[in-house]
Amino acid sequence: MFGGVFSDSLYFLGHDEGPAFDFLTQWRVSLSVDQDSKLGTDPHLFTAPDPSHAVLVLTQGGTASYHMLNHSPNGWVMSAPHTAPLDGACLGRSGRPVLLYGSNDTFLKADAGTAPHRLPAKDIGHCSASANALLTQEFTGSTDDGAHTLSRLLDRSGRVRWERTDTGIHSGDLDPNTGLVALSADTGVVVLDSRGTPTARIAGAADAQFVRPGCLIVLTPDRHITTRCIRPQSSSSRTFQ
């Protein structure tokens, strides 16, 4: 599971852990009693690709905060709340690295035992993570210039490896195994390597996400779903099979 509203995520995790999630069930019930139209409570859970770590983002009692969750031998453990107005998060396997983002602030926690440090990026609307890289995307739009998506690939320290701007609002995906990035655009999907070099294109595709190393599930404009895998043919070229 890769993140979503907390009520849906709780259903999944609660069935996985049984009694280990009793405290979260009780907390969710108390939250539903406490929330009203003025508080704007909207919990979201963002999980690592493996069932090891997660970030719970919420507003409770008028205060925005987040909790770190980790999976111990005895079940899931929730941290104390950290006060910060966040919109979302993305995590690599084993919960590292972790990118926490909001409208005005972005923080990167690279390793266990280290404090998050601030990144200059703002207005991130989507991100995905692998062990050594993070894909961030900013969505902008105006009546004069239209809508655009600014995509950046960061290394583990937060340094920008490459960035590009595409027309329209489109989400991308980072393969945690190969480091390839799939970006949707108005003309289809382009796949880039860690240097930002296009390695393959899927003309006309509406969206694509990695489902296993080097392989994408692709949505066509007529709502058909296919799977495309990248097969290296040489050190400088890749194609689809």
pLDDT for the residue 240: 43
Quick check: 169 pLDDT over 80?
Answer: yes
Quick check: 13 pLDDT over 70?
Answer: no
pLDDT band at 25 (very low <50, low <70, confident <90, very high): very low
Residues whose CB falls within 8 Å of the CB of residue 150, separated by 6 or more in sequence, listed in order: 137, 138, 139, 140, 163, 164, 165
pLDDT, tens digit (0-9, with 9 covering 90-100), for 80-129: 988 888 888 999 888 889 999 987 889 998 876 777 888 887 789 899 99
First to last CA, the chain: 27
pLDDT band at 14 (very low <50, low <70, confident <90, very high): very low
pLDDT, tens digit (0-9, with 9 covering 90-100), for 200-214: 999 989 999 999 999
What is the residue-averaged pLDDT of the chain? 79
Among 11-20, 37-46, 225-234, which range has the highest average pLDDT?
Answer: 225-234
pLDDT band at 49 (very low <50, low <70, confident <90, very high): confident
User: Which helix (H) or strand (E) element contains residue 88?
Assistant: strand 88-91
Mean pLDDT of 223-232: 84
pLDDT, tens digit (0-9, with 9 covering 90-100), for 52-70: 899 999 877 778 889 999 9
User: Which helix (H) or strand (E) element contains residue 164?
Assistant: strand 160-167
Quick check: 181 pLDDT over 70?
Answer: yes
Would the CA dihedral through 123, 2, 91, 82 be positive or negative?
A: positive
Please state, in angstroms and rounded to a whole number, the distance separating the CA atoms of residues 60 and 30.
11
pLDDT for the residue 228: 93
